[in-house]
Amino acid sequence: MNPNPTPPIRSPYRKRRRLIGDRGGHFLSRVEGATAANISACYQCERCTNACPVAHFMDIKPHQVMRFTQLGWREELLASTTVWVCLSCEMCTTYCPNEVHVAEVILHLRAMASRSTETPKEIVLAEFHETFLRELQRFGRVNEFWLMAALGLRPGVARAKMASGDWKKEIALGWTLLRKGRLRPIPHRCRAMRGIRRLYRRRRREGA
C-alpha cells in the first residue's frame, strides 16, 4: 500500500460544469414560441457565424447562441456582448441551410436582456437601444439630432464619452452636418402615432 497517495487532481472547470439540457426544454420552447424560429433544427454547421460581419466582436458566436438556447443557458446569453453587437443585417439567417431565423432569435434575446437586471457588457449599445425605442415612441420616427442628444445625456453614455474623449469628435461632426443641412433640429411627428404606440405596448406585453 502506498503510504503517500497522490492527491486527486482538481479541475478548475468543475464549478462551471453544466448539465446537458438543464432547463433547456422550457427556455427553448419559450424562445421558439416568441420568434417562430425552429431553433431545434440547428445542427451547428457554423455558416451563420462565417457569414456574420461582426462575429469577431462577439463573445458568443451566432451558432453558439443557437446551441446555448437549445441547452437553456439563459444567463450566459443575456450577459453576452453578442445581443448588443449584432447589426441585424440577417446575413446569418440568409446563409442558414435549415432556415433558422438566427437574427430574430438574437433580437428577441436583446429585448429580454434590456428588461433583465443583468448589467450589459456593452453599456453604450444598450443605452442606444433603449433611447432609440424611447424616441420612436415620442415622435413615431427617429430624428438623428434628438436621438444623439438624448443618448449623450444618458449617465452611462456620458461617462464613457467623457472618459474616451469621443464627445469632442461628435460635437464637431454634428456641427458640420448641421451647417450642411443634414440635421433637422425640429422633429416631425408621424401621423400614425397611436398605431405605433399601440403596437409597441403589445410587443412589450408579449415579450414580458
Say if 3 falls within a structural domain.
Answer: no
Residue-level pLDDT at 86: 92
In this structure, which amino acid lies at residue 108? Answer: H
Q: State which of 101, 117, 133 marks the end of a domain.
A: 117
Please provide the average confidence, as pLDDT, over all residues in the chain: 81
pLDDT tens digit sequence for 57-115: 999 999 999 999 999 999 999 999 999 999 999 999 999 999 999 999 999 999 888 88
Same domain, 108 and 144: no
Q: What are the tens digits of pLDDT across the range 36-60? A: 999 999 999 999 999 999 999 999 9
Q: Are residues 155 and 84 in the same domain?
A: no
Torsion region of 165: left, alpha or beta (phi above 0 gives left; psi -120 to 50 gives alpha): left
Share of the chain above pLDDT 70, in %: 85
CATH assignment at residue 47: 1.10.1060.10
Examine residue 78 and state whether it is found in any structural domain, yes or no: yes
| pTM for the full predicted model | 0.68
SS (H, E, C) the chain: CCCCCCCCCCCCCHHHCCCCCCCHHHHHHHHHHHHCCCHHHCCCCCHHHHHCCCHHHCCCCHHHHHHHHHHCCHHHHHCCCHHHHCCCCCHHHHHCCCCCCHHHHHHHHHHHHHHCCCCCCCHHHHHHHHHHHHHHHHHCCCCHHHHHHHHHCCHHHHHHHHHHCHHHHHHHHHHHHHHCCCCCCCCCCCCCHHHHHHHHHHHHHHHC
Q: How many CB atoms lie within 10 A of CB 117?
A: 5
Q: How many structural domains are present in the chain?
A: 2
Structural domain of 190: 122-208
- Cβ-count burial of 182 within 10 angstroms (0-12 exposed, 13-18 middle, 19+ buried)? exposed
117, 151, 182 - which closes a domain = 117
Q: Is 136 in the same domain as 178?
A: yes
Q: Which of 117, 134, 154 is the last residue of a domain?
A: 117
